[in-house]
Structure 1
Amino acid sequence: MNKLLAFLVSTTFAACAFAADPATAPAPAKSAQQTKMTTCNKEATGKKGDDRKAFMKECLSGNPKVSPAQQAQRDRMKSCNADASAMKGEERKKFMKTCLSKK
């Protein structure tokens, strides 16, 4: 009887030890920062030294480089919004459409 009891106790402890094994536990989901770091590291392959450092700083900051065309569109949008601040409804829609389509 004592041997049976000792066997049951030892198997219970062994089962608990295996259940708590961190190697078999599922990995927690990556945070947004970890995902961004992985992506930036892949894009930075081939870069070294100060070039890599500058690239990683820009990539991880979340401020992607804006092309001149994108910046021009943003500036045009700001200008048109400022001009249309007093307008509402259909009048504003028509004005914004014509203002933004001008080059």
Structure 2
Amino acid sequence: MKKLIATLGLALGLMALPVLSQAQGTPQQSRMAQCNKEATGKTGEARKTFMKECLASKPAAAAETAKP
């Protein structure tokens, strides 16, 4: 019975890892997501150029361009 409980606990813990890692995204991941959202509709070289500039810019500048 103890092995069953330990196995279930381990399985639940492993299933929770992806949820926890998504909730604690890094600033780089946040910037990538924001730039990706702003690049909607762009394709090819235009998207590549936009993403390069967006990711290279400072976070405050990216946030200002996102405001309507």
**Do both proteins adopt the same fold according to a TM-score greater than 0.5, normalized to the shorter chain?**
yes
Query: Does 1:44 find its partner at 2:39?
Result: yes
Whose relative contact order is higher, 1 or 2, with alpha carbons under 8 Å and at least 6 apart? Answer: 2
Q: Which residue of 2 aligns with 1:19?
A: 9
Structure with a larger share of its residues in helix = 2
TM-score normalized by the length of structure 2: 0.66
Structure 2, unpaired ranges of 5+: 63-68
1:59: Cα distance to partner? 0.7
Q: Over alpha carbons, which structure has the higher Rg?
A: 1
Per-residue deviation, residues 34-73 of structure 1 (Å, max 9, x unmatched):
11111111100000000000000011112559xxxxxxxx
Query: Does 1:56 find its partner at 2:51?
Result: yes
Structure 1, unpaired ranges of 5+: 1-10, 66-103
Q: How many residues align?
A: 55
Give the ranges of 4+ consecutive aligned residues of structure 1 lying more than 4 Å apart after TM superposition.
none
TM-score normalized by the length of structure 1: 0.46
Identity percentage over the alignment?
Answer: 36
